[in-house]
Structure formats: C-alpha cells, structure tokens
C-alpha cells in the first residue's frame, strides 16, 4: 500500500508490522510522533502489545531490557538528551545481548538548547556496542526498521539495533512510502526465539559480574557477533529484496564512486542533495562521487578505504564535531583529506555548500572546515 507519510510514521508502520510485544517509551522532540502512533495502534487494537508509560528514557531502556529478558520482542524510541539519559543502559543492553530495536531521531545536544537535527547524539554513542544504522529517506527508515529486527534477533548476532533518522529533515517530512502487507512482513521476519531468557525449568542468572579472568572474553564474543552481523545484514537484505522488491547495499551506498576523482562521504538524508550536486558536477566534467555510510557499526572500514583509495581526494561531510579533534565519522573513516562540519543544530546544508566542498577538494584544501 502506498501512503504519503512522514519518516516517523514510516518507523511506526514498520514497528506495527514487526509486532513487538512490549513497547516502552518516553516522549522527546522529534521522536514523539512515533510513540504517539504506536500508542494509538495499541489503544485501538491495531497492535497487540503492552505499552508501558515509563517516567524517563532511563526507564524506557530498562523496561525494554526486562521485557527482552522475559523473551519477547521490544521497541523503544528516543532522541538527543533522551539518548544520553539512557546512555548508561546502552552498553548494558548490548553487553547483555538484548536484541532491542530502538529508533533514534538525530537531534542536537544541549547546551545551547536546540531541538533540530544533527548527529552528535548517536555518534557520541558509537562505542556502546549497538548496531547503528542511518536511514536516508522514509522508505528506507521503514525497511531498515523491519530489517533491524531480523538482524538484531538473529542468533548469530543478538546485538541491539539503533535506527537513526535525521531529526525533522527525515522524521517530519512527508514522502510516498510503500507500506508492506502484514503477510509479507510475516514472511520476512521470523518469530523471536532465544535461549537467553527467563526460564522456570532451567533457571538462569543474568547480567552478572565477570572479573579480569573472564571479562575480556565476553567483550570479544560481543565484538565477534558485531562482525558476524555484516553477513546477517547481507542475508536480511537479500531476503528483503526477494519479498519486497527493494534491494539495499549493506554498510555503504556508493554513488558514481567507481571512477570518481573527488568523493564526498556522507551520513543520513543530506546524501540526496549531495548526489544531485554530483550529477551536476559530472555534467560539468568533474568526476564527483558520493559514498553514503548506512552502517556506522559494524563499520566497513576496509570497503570504505578501498572505495576512497583511487580518488584524488575525498571529504567527510557530517553533522558532528568531537571538540578538540574532528568529526567522528571523519576519524572513523581515517582516509579522507577534508572534514566538513555542517548542519549542527539543524543548520541548512545547501547545494551551494556541497558544491563548495567539491571546489575546495579540487583546490587541494584539507583539514577540518566549518560550513
């Protein structure tokens, strides 16, 4: 069914199709309409789930962990200050290997206060052990959320999954989105089964301490699971394409990079205008390309470097700054000459801005540059 809906609506539609049994969430702009839709689905009987009205994001994630431990599928959503308020829980959920799916509406961090989109919230949490994916448009947000359950709950992975949408730019803009049928969703998404749940026949202890003799082994296993998820992401996308006819490209979405002399690395919905500028530049004889990162974790470092290596110069454009250093995407990529910091606190990134980045790259500029 084709509908004209917002990015947040698309996420809510995907969650309804995935049918989590417990939803716990706390409102924060610009995530709010996701949880409003879900509450409406639950109250109207359109979604058979427990909706827990928690008193904070900290409790939202705590309740999601509890429900996951009880062996049921869960969902929560947050943004910005809320994500940081649950920051303590993020490595906890990941270390406990609770396959929670969470939507994060990317938003700036206070101070100064700002409700608009940048990616400093989620990028500050890259090391918490979650899979982190960034959608570019509402359709991808829907599809990514459905796939998030497939990937997170897969027994070779069992790692929580954060689906990121640019605040307002994606969460609140309307697009035509193909909403799959429940039958298709059920065909795609297996039931959630896990051994690691509360079991009265074979009781377990969970969330325990592990001292120096054992500690690293748990983290190593978690890391290996994260690496394995790359394969599971590919499987999920293949199956998704078979059922829904839309094919995604794993960790990266490379546009006209094959013969590109200048490549702009991007994250999230700014990629669209970057591709438009690339097309325009190509017509002017400039061999430009755009490499959109879809997954920040697991991180496709080797693939990124292989794509960037033949180019004359590349830049990372990101809505983030790690104060005193550079943008976090830039330092992760490690192979780009220039780091462009833009879009902080919802600042506009225009085609002219993007064009200027390519011009500066051509001029041999490098280092951290503020739009």
Partner 1 sequence: MRLKPLPDTIPDCTAFEAGYLVTQNGGWRSERPVIDEAKCVKCRQCYLYCPDGTISQEISVDYDFCKGCGICAKICKPGAIAMRREADYA
Partner 2 sequence: MAVSVKNLDSREFFFGHKACAGCGGSLAVRIALKVLGARAVAVLPAGCMSAVGFNFPQLAFSNNALITPFAATASVMTGIEAGLRRRGEIAHVVGFAGDGGTADIGLQALSGAIDRGDNLIYICYDNEAYMNTGIQKSGLTPFGARTTTTPITGSVRRKKDMLAIVAANGAEYAASASVGYLDDYVTKIEKAAAKPGFKYIHVIAPCPTGWGIKTNETIEIAREAVDVGLWRLREYENGQWLENCAPSRPEDLVKHLTRQGRFSALDTDKLEETKNV
Residues within the interface to partner 2 (CB under 8 A): 21-22, 24, 50, 52-56, 58-60, 62-72, 74, 88-89, 92, 198-200, 203-211, 214
Minimum CB distance to partner 1, residue 217 (Å): 5
Return all residues near 70 (Cβ < 8 A) that are at least 6 apart.
197, 198
Minimum CB distance to partner 2, residue 31 (Å): 18
| CA distance linking residue 155 with residue 267, whole number of Å | 28
62 binds, among partner 1, partner 2, none (CB under 5 to 8 A by kind): partner 2
Query: Cβ-count burial of 227 within 10 angstroms (0-12 exposed, 13-18 middle, 19+ buried)?
Result: exposed
> Applying CB under 8 A, which of residues 193, 202, 302, 367 lies at the interface with partner 1?
202
Cα Rg of the chain, angstroms? 20
Element (H, E) at 184: helix 182-188
Q: Look up residue 11 and give its two tokens.
A: 């996420």
CB 262, CB 313: distance < 8 Å = yes
Nearer to partner 1, 228 or 246 (CB): 228
Nearer to partner 2, 60 or 326 (CB): 60
Element (H, E) at 105: strand 101-106
89 binds, among partner 1, partner 2, none (CB under 5 to 8 A by kind): partner 2
HSE-up of residue 155 (Cα within 13 Å, Cβ side):
7
| CA distance linking residue 282 with residue 252, whole number of Å | 21
Total binding residues toward partner 1, as defined by CB under 8 A: 19
Residues 100-159 that bind partner 1 (CB under 8 A): 158
> Applying CB under 8 A, which of residues 12, 147, 189, 225 lies at the interface with partner 1?
225
Minimum CB distance to partner 2, residue 96 (Å): 9
Place of tokens 């997170």: 152
> Applying CB under 8 A, which of residues 46, 127, 214, 241 lies at the interface with partner 1?
214
Return all residues near 48 (Cβ < 8 A) that are at least 6 apart.
19, 21, 42
200 binds, among partner 1, partner 2, none (CB under 5 to 8 A by kind): partner 2
Place of tokens 């999601």: 64
204 binds partner 1 (CB under 8 A): yes
Minimum CB distance to partner 2, residue 63 (Å): 4
Minimum CB distance to partner 1, residue 98 (Å): 8
Nearer to partner 1, 66 or 272 (CB): 66
Spatial CA neighbour of 152 closest among 73, 253, 219: 73
Query: Cβ-count burial of 347 within 10 angstroms (0-12 exposed, 13-18 middle, 19+ buried)?
Result: middle
> Applying CB under 8 A, which of residues 113, 208, 323, 370 lies at the interface with partner 1?
208
Nearer to partner 1, 53 or 204 (CB): 204
Minimum CB distance to partner 1, residue 158 (Å): 7
Kindly list the residues in this chain that would bind partner 1 in the complex (CB under 8 A). 95-97, 158, 195-196, 202-208, 210, 214, 217-218, 221, 225
């Amino acid at each position: 069914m084709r509908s004209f809906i917002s990015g947040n609506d698309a996420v809510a539609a995907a969650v309804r199709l995935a049918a989590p049994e417990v939803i716990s969430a706390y409102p924060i702009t610009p995530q709010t309409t996701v949880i409003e839709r879900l509450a409406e689905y639950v109250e109207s009987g359109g979604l058979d789930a427990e909706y827990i009205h928690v008193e904070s994001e900290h409790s939202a994630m705590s309740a999601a962990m509890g429900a996951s431990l009880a062996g049921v599928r869960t969902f929560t959503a947050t943004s910005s200050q809320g994500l940081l308020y649950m920051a303590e829980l993020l490595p906890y959920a990941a270390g406990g290997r609770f396959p929670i799916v969470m939507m994060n509406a990317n938003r700036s961090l206070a101070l100064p206060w700002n409700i608009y989109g940048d990616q400093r919230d989620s990028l500050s949490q890259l090391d918490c052990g979650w899979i982190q994916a960034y959608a570019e448009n509402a359709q991808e947000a829907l599809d990514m959320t459905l796939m998030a359950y497939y990937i997170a709950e897969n027994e070779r992975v069992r790692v929580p999954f954060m689906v990121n949408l640019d605040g307002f730019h994606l969460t609140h803009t309307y697009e035509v989105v193909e909403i799959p049928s429940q039958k298709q969703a059920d065909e795609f998404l297996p039931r959630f089964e896990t051994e690691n749940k509360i079991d009265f026949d074979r009781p377990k202890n969970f969330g325990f301490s592990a001292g120096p003799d054992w500690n690293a082994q748990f983290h190593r296993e978690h890391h290996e699971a994260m690496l394995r998820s790359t394969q599971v992401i590919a499987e999920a996308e293949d199956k998704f394409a078979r059922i829904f006819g839309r094919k995604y490209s794993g960790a990266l979405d490379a546009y006209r990079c094959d013969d590109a002399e200048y490549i702009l690395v991007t994250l999230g919905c700014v990629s669209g205008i970057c591709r438009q500028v690339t097309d325009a530049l190509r017509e002017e004889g400039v061999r430009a390309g755009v490499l959109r990162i879809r997954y920040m974790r697991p991180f496709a470092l080797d693939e990124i470097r292989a794509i960037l290596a033949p180019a004359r110069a590349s830049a990372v454009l990101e809505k983030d700054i790690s104060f005193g250093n550079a943008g976090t995407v830039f330092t992760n990529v490690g192979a780009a000459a220039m780091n462009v910091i833009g879009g902080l606190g919802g600042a506009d990134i225009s085609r002219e801005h993007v064009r200027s980045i390519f011009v500066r790259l051509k001029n041999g500029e490098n280092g951290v540059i503020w739009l």
